[in-house]
Chains A and B, each alone.
Chain A
Amino acid sequence: MTGIWSAVLVLSITGAIFALVLYFVAQKFKVVEDPLIDEIAEVLPGANCGGCGKAGCRAMAEAFVKQGNMEGLKCPAGGDEVAKKVAALLGCTPEESEPQVAVVRCNGSCSNAKAKSNYDGLQDCAFANSLYSGESGCMFGCLGLGNCTRACQFDALTMDKETGLPIVDEEKCVACGACVKACPRGIIELRNKGMKNRRVYVACRNKEKGADARKSCTAACIGCGKCAKTCPFGAITVENNVAYIDYKVCKLCRKCVAECPTGAIHAVNFPPKPAPAPPPAAATAEPTATTPATETNNNQ
């Protein structure tokens, strides 16, 4: 019996001593932190995607508290909903912003940009980009090795096996911009979601002269400038042989889409136009080539 008692006694005493030590150490090295940080960190999405430019959600919460307002700080993943919650906690008005979505500006699919070599190295876009132009020979096009899909924390990007291009899931995409940073060729852009999710954009970044660009990809922008001339709002600029549509100016009239000789301009989420009865054989055999606009409905 004495054995048990001595054990109980010794353990109790040592426990008490350590508890005291821990208490004093905790007092001594106490870090005083604004409880607001915890509260804000709670309402942030917690994905640590880095879309805000901070190291993670906690760092963002600290930045909010330090600054005291929301100027210049924006959680792209959380959107307006989170912004409102944070604003309520901080006691300021949230900045309104247009919701955005990632857009893949390349249409160099396996059929449009035929492979001219066979890549057999590390499955990483940044490495392949440092090695050579890519399978199609286009120095500006998608390499198809999926760095953007791996960068996405929200499962919004997948590689389409058929086209070899990434597909953005509009529902899941929060426009955090991780994929934009991950793409070594700057193909992905964040664009305003637009009215009813409708967008018109140039799906090409090829700065080569028209003939050279066409050599690597049949769907390349050849910089002909027809779209810029057609646009009634002056939303389109052609620089370095490639057109760019400013989404802030574009009114989604789609005149440029019809004008583009290579089908490089994509219009997504528009109701399909009543097609003026194209030859049925061609329509069934090669739907991707004849109706790029409707086809990209699913791709986007």
Chain B
Amino acid sequence: MKTFAMGGVHPEENKISTTAVIEEFPLPETAVILMNQHLGAPATPCVAKGDTVKVGQLIGKAEAFMCANVHSPFSGTVQKIDTCKDAFGLAKPAIYIKVEGDEWEESIDRSPDIKRECDLEPKQIVDKLKEMGVVGLGGATFPTHIKYSIAPDKKAEYLIINAVECEPYLTSDHRVMMEHAEEICIGVSILRKALGVPNAYIGIENNKPEPIAVMKAMAAKFQGIIVEPLKVKYPQGAEKQLINAITGRRVPSGKLPIDVGCVVSNVGTAYAVYEAIQKNKPLMENILTVTGKKLDKQHNYHVRFGTTYNDIIAHSMGSLPETTGKVISGGPMMGKAVSNLDAPTTKGASSVLVIDESEATRAEESNCIRCGKCMHACPMGLEPYLFSSLVKNGRIEEAGAHNILDCIECGCCFFSCPANKPLLDEIRLGKNLYRGILMAKKK
């Protein structure tokens, strides 16, 4: 069974919400749509206070290169255009909408029929993805149209669809494969056409036998889609590790997947691509896992972004359990801890994970015993223990010389450290400082 070259850990899987069928999440009364829900510059609001908007209407226009359109997921009146604090307490430009009814743009095809044929040219596909504001749903929210606009000197050879879902707890990819296998395969075919590559590989970890079976059966009906079961090992879903597992190639330091002829998209993105291209439906909702060991009921929801975390908590569990220690947006290994539950969800959100206080508090740090576990767990072959001491002593350039920027922040080092050292925190700090040094040098 294929897997990546080195390192990796196997955290407790805790996939307790795999059987929860995807439900429609009810509309909230008011919603806040952040203007930067993607990697890059924020979109520019193109509606004014008092305007009425429909579901799917463009409200934030991408003007910078690294930017994506934002569409209204709700119909109603624009209350104000202001800033709003996101889940981490940082103010971002936002549009406040009072939700009234559920009136959709006419161009959106809301019928349940599956539309299989796509006669768009590759260029048209990319343009339409840009128009529909599609971004990668694997967590990084990289604008998809930029990823699929291949520079003339580069050539794509592989399309890899990331359905690994190596993070514990998360099941949104699992559910979307179970329920929308055909749409995903159509989406993959469209992306394959956009790139002009012969084959697309869908990588799925072996702990998901049902989705593998479903996807294999469906892929057999399509040309050039290969389902690739992978050995269970975190962080298989990291872009570089997945490319390595499937093609054996390694993305060199500071390079992008396209430099080794690969383009990687999440399975959720493939579904969003299907909806955007075939149904004219802009990206305005995602599948969110609401899970936690102490919750009575686990859920997977279609949530339109702009719904607040508090709305989701109120609807799915009433209130947070008494012993909640942390609420995480994303998986427990790479997700971010939410400090502001009043914040709206964004395109990148994939879960609301409720961690109990017994697990949420970090144990006390002790001396490094030089066991080397961090080094052996590192999927990039780096030395986290060394970065820790270099960063602490301000030897940032030395850390840079030891390839600190290669770190993919998967967290395997901290996860496996017996001394509970906050290795990844220190590495992140070191990366930021080193980037600052490089910037200063450029000037």
CB–CB A132/B91 < 8 A: no
Q: Is A116 an interface residue (CB 8 A)?
A: yes
Within 8 A of A (CB), among B85-103: 85, 88-91
Within the complex, the shortest CB–CB distance from B409 to chain A, in Å, comes to 12
* Residue in B91, B361, B428 whose beta carbon sits within 8 Å of that of A208 in the complex: B91
A127 contact set on B, CB distance < 8 A: 425-426, 428-429, 432
A212 contact set on B, CB distance < 8 A: 91
Q: Is A2 an interface residue (CB 8 A)?
A: no
Q: Most chain-B CB neighbours within 10 Å: which of A117, A126, A137?
A: A117
Q: Is B124 an interface residue (CB 8 A)?
A: no
- Given A131-B88, A133-B85, A139-B91, also A117-B339 (CB < 8 A): yes
Name B's A-contacting residues (CB within 8 A).
85, 88-91, 336-337, 339-340, 360-362, 422, 425-426, 428-429, 432-433
CB–CB A121/B88 < 8 A: no
CB–CB A133/B422 < 8 A: no
Q: Is A130 an interface residue (CB 8 A)?
A: yes
Bound together, the chains give a CA A86 to CA B371 distance in angstroms of 53
A131 contact set on B, CB distance < 8 A: 88, 336
CB–CB B340/A137 < 8 A: yes
Q: Is A8 an interface residue (CB 8 A)?
A: no
A208 contact set on B, CB distance < 8 A: 91
* Residue in A124, A130, A133 whose beta carbon sits within 8 Å of that of B339 in the complex: A133
Within 8 A of B (CB), among A122-145: 122, 124, 126-127, 130-134, 137, 139
CB–CB B429/A133 < 8 A: no
Work out how many contacts link A and B, with CB atoms closer than 8 A.
49
Bound together, the chains give a CA A120 to CA B359 distance in angstroms of 12
The SS class assigned to the B binding surface is mixed
Within the complex, the shortest CB–CB distance from B436 to chain A, in Å, comes to 10
A127 — nearest CB in chain B belongs to which residue? B429
CB–CB A133/B426 < 8 A: no
Name A's B-contacting residues (CB within 8 A).
116-117, 120-122, 124, 126-127, 130-134, 137, 139, 208, 212
- Given A127-B428, A133-B88, A133-B89, also A121-B339 (CB < 8 A): no
CB–CB A133/B90 < 8 A: yes
Q: List 23 A-B contacts (CB under 8 A).
A: A116-B339, A116-B340, A120-B362, A121-B362, A121-B422, A121-B425, A122-B426, A126-B432, A126-B433, A127-B426, A130-B432, A131-B88, A132-B89, A132-B90, A132-B339, A133-B88, A133-B89, A133-B340, A134-B89, A137-B89, A137-B340, A139-B91, A212-B91
- Given A117-B339, A139-B90, also A124-B85 (CB < 8 A): no
Bound together, the chains give a CA A126 to CA B88 distance in angstroms of 15
CB–CB A122/B425 < 8 A: yes
CB–CB B429/A126 < 8 A: yes
The SS class assigned to the A binding surface is loop
Bound together, the chains give a CA A133 to CA B426 distance in angstroms of 18
CB–CB B429/A124 < 8 A: yes
A126 contact set on B, CB distance < 8 A: 429, 432-433
B336 contact set on A, CB distance < 8 A: 131
Within the complex, the shortest CB–CB distance from B288 to chain A, in Å, comes to 21
- Given A122-B429, A124-B429, A137-B339, also A132-B422 (CB < 8 A): no
Bound together, the chains give a CA A120 to CA B425 distance in angstroms of 11
Closest 6 CB pairs of A and B: A133-B89, A122-B425, A132-B88, A117-B339, A127-B429, A122-B422
Within the complex, the shortest CB–CB distance from A76 to chain B, in Å, comes to 21
A116 contact set on B, CB distance < 8 A: 339-340
Within the complex, the shortest CB–CB distance from A49 to chain B, in Å, comes to 14
Within the complex, the shortest CB–CB distance from B12 to chain A, in Å, comes to 20
A134 contact set on B, CB distance < 8 A: 89
Bound together, the chains give a CA A130 to CA B422 distance in angstroms of 15
* Residue in B89, B360, B362, B422 whose beta carbon sits within 8 Å of that of A139 in the complex: B89
A121 contact set on B, CB distance < 8 A: 362, 422, 425
A133 contact set on B, CB distance < 8 A: 85, 88-90, 339-340
Bound together, the chains give a CA A127 to CA B424 distance in angstroms of 11
Q: Most chain-A CB neighbours within 10 Å: which of B361, B426, B429?
A: B429
Within the complex, the shortest CB–CB distance from A142 to chain B, in Å, comes to 15
Within the complex, the shortest CB–CB distance from B325 to chain A, in Å, comes to 9
* Residue in A122, A130, A137 whose beta carbon sits within 8 Å of that of B85 in the complex: A137
Within the complex, the shortest CB–CB distance from B69 to chain A, in Å, comes to 27
B428 contact set on A, CB distance < 8 A: 127, 130
Within the complex, the shortest CB–CB distance from B329 to chain A, in Å, comes to 12
A131 — nearest CB in chain B belongs to which residue? B88
CB–CB A120/B361 < 8 A: yes
Bound together, the chains give a CA A117 to CA B428 distance in angstroms of 21
A120 contact set on B, CB distance < 8 A: 360-362
Bound together, the chains give a CA A117 to CA B339 distance in angstroms of 6
B422 — nearest CB in chain A belongs to which residue? A122
B85 contact set on A, CB distance < 8 A: 133, 137
Bound together, the chains give a CA A285 to CA B7 distance in angstroms of 58
Within the complex, the shortest CB–CB distance from B364 to chain A, in Å, comes to 11
Within the complex, the shortest CB–CB distance from B374 to chain A, in Å, comes to 15
Known pairs A122-B425, A133-B340. 6 more at Cβ < 8 A? A117-B339, A120-B362, A126-B429, A126-B433, A127-B432, A212-B91
B88 — nearest CB in chain A belongs to which residue? A132
Bound together, the chains give a CA A245 to CA B361 distance in angstroms of 42
Within the complex, the shortest CB–CB distance from B3 to chain A, in Å, comes to 30
Bound together, the chains give a CA A126 to CA B433 distance in angstroms of 9
A124 contact set on B, CB distance < 8 A: 425, 429
Within the complex, the shortest CB–CB distance from B328 to chain A, in Å, comes to 13
Bound together, the chains give a CA A139 to CA B90 distance in angstroms of 6
Bound together, the chains give a CA A137 to CA B337 distance in angstroms of 14
Within the complex, the shortest CB–CB distance from A209 to chain B, in Å, comes to 9
B337 contact set on A, CB distance < 8 A: 132
Within the complex, the shortest CB–CB distance from B299 to chain A, in Å, comes to 24
B89 contact set on A, CB distance < 8 A: 132-134, 137, 139
Bound together, the chains give a CA A121 to CA B365 distance in angstroms of 11
Bound together, the chains give a CA A224 to CA B430 distance in angstroms of 40
Bound together, the chains give a CA A124 to CA B432 distance in angstroms of 13
Within the complex, the shortest CB–CB distance from B430 to chain A, in Å, comes to 10
A117 contact set on B, CB distance < 8 A: 339
B361 — nearest CB in chain A belongs to which residue? A120
B428 — nearest CB in chain A belongs to which residue? A127
B422 contact set on A, CB distance < 8 A: 121-122
A130 contact set on B, CB distance < 8 A: 428-429, 432
Q: Most chain-A CB neighbours within 10 Å: which of B89, B360, B422?
A: B89
A122 — nearest CB in chain B belongs to which residue? B425
Bound together, the chains give a CA A146 to CA B366 distance in angstroms of 20
A132 contact set on B, CB distance < 8 A: 88-90, 337, 339
Bound together, the chains give a CA A126 to CA B430 distance in angstroms of 10
A120 — nearest CB in chain B belongs to which residue? B362
